[in-house]
Structure 1
Amino acid sequence: MNSDELAAAYARLHGYGPEFGGDEEGNHGLTNHGPMAVEVMVRRRLDIGVQGWLDRYVHRLAELPDVGEPIQPDGWSAALGQARRLPDWTVYFQRELSERSWQDVLTEWWPRLLPGIVAGSTHGVIRVGHAVRTLRATPAAPVHPMLDELAHGLAFWTARYRALTGVVTPTGSLTPQQAVTAVHRLDSQRGFIAHRLDRLERSPGWTASLRLLQPAASTEEVPARLETLVDSAARAYLGLGHAAPVLLVHAATAPNAVLHVLPALPTELWQRSLTAAWAATAAIIATYAPTQSAPEAEIRARLPELSREDALCRAAEHGDEHVLKFTDTAVESYDRTGDPVFLATTSLAGELIDRP
């Protein structure tokens, strides 16, 4: 990984907030995917000029607002989920990461934030996941922009925190692939994601859907179960993606973020991380996926056969941040399984999602 290139990209992006657009309160806006996308570009060594990509991207972003009242260490819970405190949370985590190891800060805040894993349409956990991948890949002491990116990710997740009620530990017998298919869909899939989640929590099938997944039998099995969950969600995109091409990529990328954070966490946090990751995937499937999958065999038959290198090159040529992130995740699934269906899903995402 070219750490200098990534550090320069992070430094440029940190003058902007994690969301843009939306109403006068900042609700229902779009997410700034810049830091997550450039992490993929640099780590994968894609044939993209990072600064040129940013030149085209940053014009749509909103500047990070001014700091208000400092977050006090003993009063953090009162500011949890307050979007207007985002700049204050950013300063708070920057200070924390300057005084303690990033692993200690992450370990303290991860269990606090997991119940709100859907925060910012799951982009809070995804941004943290990309930041942690960068820090884990940095053998020497991490440079300031790398730590700063984790601070921005944690601040976004914290400021947009929204607990998802009805979440239970899985107790069922279904494999991840079977459980993804069996998730109960909302009768009314309309409106912003916040409104859909409100209806989901009142849906009689929500908690029942979460119970369906077979739990990991031991802590040691959690990483493998998470891998299979990511693979199942990525594979399901082939038949479901047409319904909501952008939102449904997060059914795979959110648990993939959790997967890559696991090695930095104490093992006693792994089981609850799996429960939260499954809840995030199930929530997106329930609120955006159609009840009936499109004919996957027909879709796959019309898509070109790709190598993993082809898939990454096509994502780079496409240039959309969602296509980049989803391709990164799907190629990992291909590397684990050797199943070319995952490469086909990247081709479909490139078709369904508009080029920038």
Structure 2
Amino acid sequence: MALAPRTEPDAVDDLLIEGRLFSAEFPVLLANHLPMMIVALDQLGATSERLRQYFDNYRTVNGLVPTPPPVAPIQREQWTDALGDRSREYDYRAFFEGEVRRLGIDATVQAYLPTLIPGIGASALHGMMRTAYGFMRMDPAEVGTAIGYWAATYLPMPPSTGADPITDDPGEVLARACALPGLHHVVPETDLLWHNIRAAGASPDFAPVVDWLAIGPDTGRRLASTSLALFAATMDFSSLHALTGSHWIRMISPHLLEADRAALMRHFWQIIASLVPKIGFPTLPSAEQLDEWRHLPAPGWPEIAAKAVQSEDEHDISLVFSAREEEKVHGDRLYRVVAARRMELMD
């Protein structure tokens, strides 16, 4: 469902238009969160002045760079030829913005996202993130830009073979991934999140993981619940992307056909499983421990949101916004507890 903006009609749109002048990544190969954070801050109650201040601070501190120059137009019949080539960001963004104008948002998504879903680790899930935020406002230019970003940073991982799944429990998938010998010897090129994902994917042991999870009517809720438990147990930067990613999956899924929704969830959880070495081979907490945390005294969402609005850390803002939105759907008070902890409003 699209979210209604809180500031005057054109404040967010104007900043998003300005934001599209910049590349979707900044040196060295880090995801540019600025467009998504403008939307999240707006929904958390930021004033127009705060949005402008955040925009200028983020641009300056992170040294945002312009979109790379065009190389050659992407041809519709050969659109997959340059997947994962960051030098083609301008070309892919232009192509998909044109396809959204030609076909509309949902028809473009249904035509192209099934091919892109296996590369969901693109820019450490941030191509998916920007796509989800584009859907929140049903912004054609942002959706086209986001899909282009996803295509230019497409990250190949071991493909699904259609093998029979072994569990419908996302937590069991993580536990089994933790037990894979090869993942205990993963050495990423750098500590970038997507380099960790890519290194895990290169381990022969990891190849079958994508097919382990059985997808059913309740899988989306179970992914969200397991992601929340993982983040509550670790409060870890990498597991934060499981919780926020569950929110993004929920935003994208209604725009896909049923089979593609299943693929989206399966490949998303493959990426989260690839991060278990970086998270430290975590063990999920017991139901009793989760319930104890769930009932801890915690401030209300207005106080948490107000502190997030004043933060310059994109992951504070992203986590608080996604946690608040997920609690609205799933009704779990633990979302509020972990958000308050992230914002250092409780021990």
Name the TM-score, length of structure 1 as normaliser. Answer: 0.81
What is the letter of the counterpart of residue 289 of structure 1? Answer: I
The answer for the alignment partner of 2:83 in structure 1 is 80
- Relative distance call for 1:40 and 1:194 in structure 2 (3 A) is closer
Q: Which runs of 5+ in 1 are unaligned?
A: 23-28, 136-145
Q: Which runs of 5+ in 2 are unaligned?
A: none
- Is it true that 1:228 corresponds to 2:222 in the alignment? yes
Q: Deviations over 1:201-233 (max 9, x none)?
A: 2435424544543431xxxx1xx4213202321
**Does the CA contact (< 8 Å) of 1:46 and 1:312 recur in 2?**
no
**Which one of 255, 271, 274 corresponds to residue 280 of structure 1?**
271
The answer for the alignment partner of 1:10 in structure 2 is 16
* Secondary structure class of the residue paired with 1:129: helix
What is the letter of the counterpart of residue 319 of structure 2? Answer: F
The answer for the alignment partner of 1:100 in structure 2 is 103
- Relative distance call for 1:291 and 1:215 in structure 2 (3 A) is same
**Which one of 330, 336, 341 corresponds to residue 348 of structure 1?**
341
What is the letter of the counterpart of residue 42 of structure 2? Answer: V
| Aligned counterparts, 1:21-170, within 5 A | 21-22=27-28, 29-46=29-46, 49-59=50-60, 60-135=63-138, 146-167=139-160
* Secondary structure class of the residue paired with 1:79: coil
Structure 2: distance between partners of 1:73 and 1:211 = 30
Indicate the larger mover: 101-110 or 38-47: 38-47
Indicate the larger mover: 197-206 or 228-237: 197-206
**Does the CA contact (< 8 Å) of 2:24 and 2:149 recur in 1?**
yes
What is the letter of the counterpart of residue 18 of structure 1? Answer: A
The answer for the alignment partner of 1:139 in structure 2 is none
Structure 1: distance between partners of 2:277 and 2:226 = 17
Offset of residue 120 of structure 1: 0.6
- Relative distance call for 1:168 and 1:133 in structure 2 (3 A) is farther
The answer for the alignment partner of 2:232 in structure 1 is 238
- Relative distance call for 1:180 and 1:134 in structure 2 (3 A) is farther
* Secondary structure class of the residue paired with 2:77: coil
* Secondary structure class of the residue paired with 1:187: helix
Structure 1: distance between partners of 2:98 and 2:47 = 35
Structure 2: distance between partners of 1:215 and 1:294 = 21
Structure 2: distance between partners of 1:13 and 1:282 = 32
- Relative distance call for 1:156 and 1:162 in structure 2 (3 A) is same
What is the letter of the counterpart of residue 108 of structure 2? Answer: V
**Does the CA contact (< 8 Å) of 1:184 and 1:209 recur in 2?**
no
Offset of residue 318 of structure 1: 2.4
Indicate the larger mover: 169-178 or 224-233: 169-178
The answer for the alignment partner of 1:143 in structure 2 is none
RMSD: 2.9
Indicate the larger mover: 92-101 or 181-190: 181-190
Offset of residue 115 of structure 1: 0.7
Q: Deviations over 1:31-65 (max 9, x none)?
A: 11011111112234345721111111112211112
**Which one of 245, 249, 252 corresponds to residue 258 of structure 1?**
249
Indicate the larger mover: 324-333 or 169-178: 169-178
* Secondary structure class of the residue paired with 1:78: coil
Indicate the larger mover: 153-162 or 343-352: 343-352
* Secondary structure class of the residue paired with 1:238: helix
Matched-pair identity in %: 19
Indicate the larger mover: 56-65 or 224-233: 224-233
The answer for the alignment partner of 1:141 in structure 2 is none
Indicate the larger mover: 30-39 or 259-268: 259-268
Indicate the larger mover: 91-100 or 194-203: 194-203
- Relative distance call for 1:294 and 1:231 in structure 2 (3 A) is closer
Structure 1: distance between partners of 2:265 and 2:284 = 28
Indicate the larger mover: 93-102 or 124-133: 93-102
Structure 2: distance between partners of 1:31 and 1:300 = 32
- Relative distance call for 1:259 and 1:339 in structure 2 (3 A) is closer
